[in-house]
Structure 1
Amino acid sequence: MPKRVKLDFGYLEFYENFVIAEINEGIHLVSEQNNILLSLCLKNFRNKPFGFISNRIYSYSIDPFIYLEAEKIENFVAIAIVVTTSAQRLSSRIEELFCKKPFQYFYNLETAKSWIRDRVNASGVTLD
């Protein structure tokens, strides 16, 4: 059973080696909120490699520069975006330009989970 965390701007569901984020409708995700997400991920995954899945069931926007901060986390290995519209797909393609970690968009959550698990398992990330 995943651990679900409610935030002012959405939800996080923590699994063994990835987290799924669902951000609320109309939010513009900026550095302050990203810092909360990153802090919770660091606390939950400690020294284990993990992936991040953004399940975009609602419409919201992101400051793409938040990816620069996320990349600094050594055990963060990949990000998957689950899109439902062509506009979300286009936004994710633009966001991908700001992220140096493996980054992929998908049309369903199960495929995104499978891809993230593969990236985490293949990452070879080990931290002391």
Structure 2
Amino acid sequence: MQPLFDSDSNLVGWLKTGEHVFDTDLNWVAYIQGGHAWSTNSGNWLGPVVQKNCLDQSGKPVAWSPDGGISGMPRPARPARPARPARPARPARPARPARPARPATPAGGWSSLSFREWVSQ
């Protein structure tokens, strides 16, 4: 599992690459299908997940992992809603990662949404 940080380098969640997004309490908050994140509560499209970056619907980063470079993208097309996968088993709690240095602002800027707002859409 990869740690996810916000624009201020605060730990906001965990990414099981290509599959799921968990919050810091390891609650399943999003699933990933076709390179896009979908809310587990509403089923709504949250935005693309590209190189371990969780992007909003306008293509701006909401959360990032130190293992992938931080970048945004032009506004993506809305994908078709996929079938919801089965709830995954709760993962073991990973060790708390070291806080990375605050990153430079990506081209196009950061999303105006917090991680919690993003997963609550």
* TM-score > 0.5, shorter chain as reference: no
The TM-score, its normalising length taken from structure 1, stands at 0.29
Q: Please state which structure has a larger fraction of its residues in helix.
A: 1
